[in-house]
Structure formats: structure tokens, C-alpha cells
Amino acid sequence: MYQPGRTATDTQLETKAPSAPVPDVTAELWDFLEKAGVAFHWVAEDGTILWANTAELQMMGYQASEYVGRNIRDFYVDRQAIEDILIRLSNDENLNDHEARVRCKDGSTRWVAISSSVYRKDGKFVHTRCVTVDITDRKSASDLRQRLGAIVESSDDAIIAKDLDGIILSWNRGAERIFGYTAEEVIGQHVSILAAPDRIDEIPDILGRLRRGERVDHYKTKRKAKDGRILTISLTVSPLFDAQGGIIGASKVARDITLTESQEHALEAVNESLKMANADLEQFVYSASHDLQEPLRMVATYSELLMRTFRDQLGPDGADYLDYVLQGALRMEQLLKNLRAYTLVSTVQREPVDYVDSGMVLDRALANLRPTIVESSALITRGPLPKVKLQDFRLEQLFQNLISNALRYKRGPRPEIKVFAEPERNGWRFAVQDNGIGIDPRYKEQIFDLFKRLHSVAEYPGTGMGLAICKRIIERAGGRIWVESAPGRGSTFYFTLP
């Protein structure tokens, strides 16, 4: 017979020896209970804690003197829960893994699973024996799982898990709604049942990428619903890893971006009216710039005539004013000419074009610029130039604009200009390089806008339309144009042609 009093651990934990009745326990068993890794306590009929082992005290964060002797009710978060437990035990019910929340000394709460029964001697209530297991981590992991599960379930997108062979492992409600299959119908099936007939080849490709650990991001594709409808889907597929970092499958989020028939019609209608409005506008600009040309010519011609015939009568101021009128008219004429060229890029000849020899087209552009080239004694060199698909007069205009800029924005006495082309993945990349004044990189996008100039007309004459025309020509041909430059370091204008 062993009466629990002060034990080895009590020296550390200051146990207050229970004054309530204690059971018949051998010293060996007592030692085992005291040192066990599992939390034990005994509670009297009125709820007073009679004894708690080290593991329990550690879990709760109390010294024995702060815990033993107090009422167990003080440590439960939910008062009703502990009342319930005590009533059930006093009715000789055994509790197994009964879950409840306790409050520790530091104020934190922990979920515990309680297994408990009453010990009676000669029919008299001695105490309850209670094993308490801390299940907080398990509980929060399962809470998290539940929360994530709820998010997945309530998502409007289809969220599907599959293994590396493409077998569907999970299927949420979004997937049911989008594809029309229930989870029972598809789990265990191969994902190819969702592929549109012309997209079957994609599946092995996507699975191959996943096996390499790659992700597929917002990939627009077609999939087939259960009722045969072809859906437009935006797909994001990411590999799933196990704890060791091995790839075990993939999670796939599919968003239905199919437009309804009425949405498609509305979009088409808006597109059509936009196209018409645009065409009208361009036609208007073209006609206006054409019709304005005539009266302007008249202003210029008569100003010149006036100047020639009546210069002496005008006096010095009058001659200056007339000169301003003439210069203004000439500049306006140039602007109108460029404006017409700009609108012509999209209004003329949309039909497919043949290949042209870009070297020959460059010759023509250089011939047009010959007077300026000779005057500035520019050195122009070129690499081999390919055949490309673009109307020749457009390519000529493009070369002419870029080279005339290179001649105008020169630095030093002799402009040096190089024209070359290099093959790239889907076509050619051309370059027109000069050794001129260069461009501040801050303006490298803006200079391609209509009427955007970095200098006054007095410094460098121009209309601010040359590069806008080039951009229009290149973009209509499916290419890209850009500049690489720095002030004082020359500029290289690049453009690509498919």
C-alpha cells in the first residue's frame, strides 16, 4: 500500500499533498503514473483536483501548488462542457476521447481529448481518474483542412487534383458545374475525357511539363463538357509535392471563360461599329488633308508671287511677315502630306502581299534621299538584306523615314549609317543604326506617338509623324519597332517582320 505524499517530482513542482481520499496504488505504479508522458489527474466529486502528474502540470503550465486543490471547473473554457463531463462521470459513465478546451496559465487555450471514469470503493465515490491528451495541433490541422476544403468546394472555378498519369483524384463543385460531370462519374477516370477533340494532344504535353516540375499558367484552351459543349477554359496547373519534395500529382484550376452567344454577338457588334467609326474617321482625315492641300497651295503660291513682285513696296517688316506666312503654309503642306501618308497605311491595300527584296527597296529609299545624302556626305553601309512580306512602297517609306531621321539628327560633320538584318525565331529583325545625337531613353516610347517631337522646328525641322507612320506600318504587318539609344551615343532603330 502506498499513500501518495511528496514524490521525487514534487521537489520541482511543489505538490501540495492531497487531503482528499487517495486510492490503493503500489509504489511502483505510483512512480509510473507520476512520470508518465501522458497527462493524468484525479478529481474529487465536487471537482477539486486531488492530484495531477508532471505531464499534466507541464501541459497546463502550472506548479502543483497552483493547480492541485483548485476546482477543475476553473480550467475549462466552456463551463457547460465541464459540468456535462462531471455529471456524466458521477452517473458512472465512461468518457472516451471526449473533446474539450482548457485554458493554460499563460492564457492560451488547448484542445484536449479526455478519457475518464469514476473510481469507487465500497460503492463510495473516491475520485475520477482522467487521462488528458493534447490534440491542439491535430485539431488545428483538421480545422485548416476543413476550411481549405470549404474554399475549394465553394469556388466557382473547377479545382481538380490528378496524379502524374492524368487520373482524376478529386473534383469540386465548380468542376461539376462547369463540366457537368459529378465527382462519382469522373474520379478515377483519365483527364482526357475533358479534352476537346482537337486538343487531345495537349494532355501528354501538359503532363510532361508537370513531371518536370513546371507550372502551366493561365493557358487558354478548349475543353469539352459532358453534354458535348466546347468550352473556352483558362487553365492553371501546378505540380503537387510530397513531404520529401517529390512530385506526386497536380492541382488544376480551370476557369470557364466561354462567352455566351449573346455576349459574342454584342462583342462582334461593338467591334464592327468601332471598325466603321475608325474607317470613317480615317477617311475624313484623308479627305480633309487632301482638300486642305489646294487652298494651302494657293496661299503659298500667292505669297511667293507677292514676295517676288512687291518685295520693295512691302518694306523690311512686311517682307518678314510675308515670309512667316510662306513658311507656315509650307510647313502645313508637309504636315498634311504626312497625315495623308499616316491614314493611307490602313486604308490602302489590305490584300495579302508577295515577298519583296528589302535590299532593292532600300536602294529606292536611298535614291529618294540622294540630295541630302550627298549634301551631308553621309557614309551609308549595309549588310545582306532578306526578302520579306510587306508591300514594297510601305517598306520604302519605312526605310526612308528612318534614314532621313538618321541624316537629320546627326552629330558631327559626317553621319554614319548602317542598315542590317538578322534572322530571328519567327522572321527578321532589321536595324538602322546612326552615330547621331541619340535619344534620352525616357522618351523611347513617346517618340513613336503622333506629333511627338523632342526638338523645336527651328533646331531640327520635322512634323513628328515619321516614326508614328513607321510604327503603324510595322504593327499592321505583325511586327514590332523600338529604339535603343542614349544621348550623344547614336541610335539604333530596330523593327521585326514576320
The footprint of ligand ADP (CB under 6 A) covers 401, 405-406, 409, 434, 436-439, 447, 452-455, 462-468, 491
Helix extents (H) in 377-425: 392-408
**First-last CA distance in the chain:** 98
Residue carrying the nine cell digits 508537370: 210
Report the C-alpha gap between 379 and 436 in whole angstroms: 12
- Pick between residue 157 and residue 396 the one whose CB is nearest to ligand ADP: 396
> How near is the Cβ of 378 to ligand ADP at its closest, in Å?
12
Q: Name 432's Cβ contacts closer than 8 Å, sequence gap at least 6.
A: 399, 402, 403, 406, 417, 418, 419, 492, 493
Q: How do beta strands 216-224 and 230-241 pair?
A: antiparallel
> How near is the Cβ of 369 to ligand ADP at its closest, in Å?
13
Do 5 and 13 form a contact (C-beta atoms < 8 A)?
Answer: no
> How near is the Cβ of 334 to ligand ADP at its closest, in Å?
9
> How near is the Cβ of 346 to ligand ADP at its closest, in Å?
17
> How near is the Cβ of 337 to ligand ADP at its closest, in Å?
12
**DSSP 3-state assignment of 199?**
helix
- Pick between residue 148 and residue 486 the one whose CB is nearest to ligand ADP: 486
> How near is the Cβ of 406 to ligand ADP at its closest, in Å?
5
Residue carrying the nine cell digits 510601305: 394
Provide DSSP, 105-161: TTS-EEEEEEEEEEEEETTEEEEEEEEEEE-HHHHHHHHHHHHHHHHHHH-SSEEEE
CA of 124: how far to CAs of 89, 121, 261, 354, 392, in Å?
13, 5, 80, 108, 110
Query: Which value, to the nearest 10 degrees, does the dihedral of the CA atoms of residues 176, 180, 184, 188 take?
Result: -90
Number of other CB atoms surrounding residue 135 within 10 Å? 16
> How near is the Cβ of 465 to ligand ADP at its closest, in Å?
6
> How near is the Cβ of 288 to ligand ADP at its closest, in Å?
20
Number of other CB atoms surrounding residue 406 within 10 Å? 26
Report the C-alpha gap between 461 and 409 in whole angstroms: 10
